[in-house]
């Protein structure tokens, strides 16, 4: 009898804990599923033929989309850049532990689409002292003045830490290709950290990316 009571009590405690899991308050989602984490913007970007771009704000969410304090689920049609094709887009963000979020995306198309890039992008202000990015422990040099577009690239990375000056630092853990870009050549005062599946081909119809996002204490 006591054993059954303890099992029931443990189940109730687990259910209460699961029900109480909330996404970090600093994480703010738009109806299209793009996210703002303090001064870090997170969204999906597609670069297609002739380097035309399509960003997540062009997504058309469908009725399955649910954005709440304990889960972000976005489903809809995402226009491919410079193409008549539309991707089928699914995004899910779920809290796992305190200050940790499981992030997953699945993007498909009825036929192969040219992808110069298809990535989850993290944008932070450029040219600000105190901003830092590391990839697998290697510090990326972020120039004060514009020098070029591509700053760093690593295939098969497992950890990226982004520390915007005066903002919320985050750690991204998974298995992905990582690229850091200076957008000031395009009159955008930002650096982008772009994550994509390892060894992604330039033509695809099925794309998937998963990683864990962790908010770090402000003093790290």
Tell me what the pLDDT averaged over the chain comes to.
Answer: 91
Q: Where are the alpha helices (DSSP H) in 120-208?
A: none
On whether residue 118 sits in a domain, the answer given is: yes
pLDDT at res. 112: 95
Provide the number of structural domains found in the chain.
1
On whether residue 220 sits in a domain, the answer given is: no
On whether residue 138 sits in a domain, the answer given is: yes
* Model confidence at 10: pLDDT above 70: no
On whether residue 112 sits in a domain, the answer given is: yes
Supply the CATH number for residue 174's domain: 2.70.98
- Rounded to an integer, the average pLDDT of 42-47 is 98
Rounded Cα–Cα distance for residues 136 and 161 (Å):
8
pLDDT at res. 4: 57
Which tens digits make up the pLDDT trace of 114-132? 999 999 999 999 988 889 9
Higher pLDDT among residues 177 and 168, named by residue? 177
* Model confidence at 164: pLDDT above 70: yes
Higher pLDDT among residues 134 and 98, named by residue? 134
Percentage with pLDDT > 70 across the chain: 90
Confidence band, pLDDT 50/70/90 cuts, at residue 87: very high
* Model confidence at 16: pLDDT above 50: no
Rounded Cα–Cα distance for residues 48 and 43 (Å):
16
Per-residue HEC secondary structure of 42-87 comes to EEEEEECHHHCEEEHHHCEECCCCEECCCCEEEEEEEECCCCCCEE
* Model confidence at 13: pLDDT above 80: no
> Residue 71, CB half-sphere, CA atoms under 13 Å: how many?
10
On whether residue 58 sits in a domain, the answer given is: yes
Contacts of residue 84, defined as CB under 8 A and 6 or more positions apart, other chains included, come to none
Per DSSP, 183 falls in state: G
On whether residue 171 sits in a domain, the answer given is: yes
pLDDT at res. 143: 92
pLDDT at res. 128: 83
Using only C-alpha atoms, the chain has a radius of gyration, in whole angstroms, of 19
Residue with tokens 């591509």: 150
Structural domain boundaries enclosing 110: 2-215
Percentage with pLDDT > 90 across the chain: 79
For residue 23 the two structure tokens come to 């996404």
Judged on CB neighbours under 10 Å (0-12, 13-18, 19+), 42 is: buried
On whether residue 63 sits in a domain, the answer given is: yes
On whether residue 197 sits in a domain, the answer given is: yes
């Amino acid at each position: 009898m006591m054993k059954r009571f303890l099992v029931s009590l443990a189940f109730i405690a687990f259910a209460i804990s699961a029900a109480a899991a909330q996404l970090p308050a600093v994480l703010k989602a738009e109806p299209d599923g793009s996210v703002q984490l303090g001064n870090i913007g997170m969204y999906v970007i597609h670069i297609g033929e002739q380097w035309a771009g399509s960003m997540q704000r062009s997504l058309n969410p469908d009725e399955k989309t649910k954005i709440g304090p304990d889960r972000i689920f976005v489903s809809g049609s995402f226009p491919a850049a410079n193409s008549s094709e539309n991707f089928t887009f699914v995004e899910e963000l779920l809290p796992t532990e305190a200050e940790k979020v499981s992030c997953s995306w699945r993007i498909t198309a009825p036929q192969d689409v040219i992808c110069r890039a298809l990535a989850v992008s993290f944008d932070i202000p450029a040219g600000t002292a105190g901003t830092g990015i590391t990839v697998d422990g290697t510090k990326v040099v972020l120039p004060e003045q514009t020098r070029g577009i591509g700053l760093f690239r690593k295939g098969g990375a497992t950890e990226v830490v982004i520390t915007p000056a005066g903002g919320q630092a985050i750690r991204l853990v998974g298995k992905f290709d990582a690229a850091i870009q200076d957008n000031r050549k395009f009159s955008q005062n930002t650096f982008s950290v772009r994550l994509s599946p390892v060894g992604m081909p330039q033509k695809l119809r099925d794309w998937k990316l998963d990683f864990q996002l962790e908010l770090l204490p402000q003093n790290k």
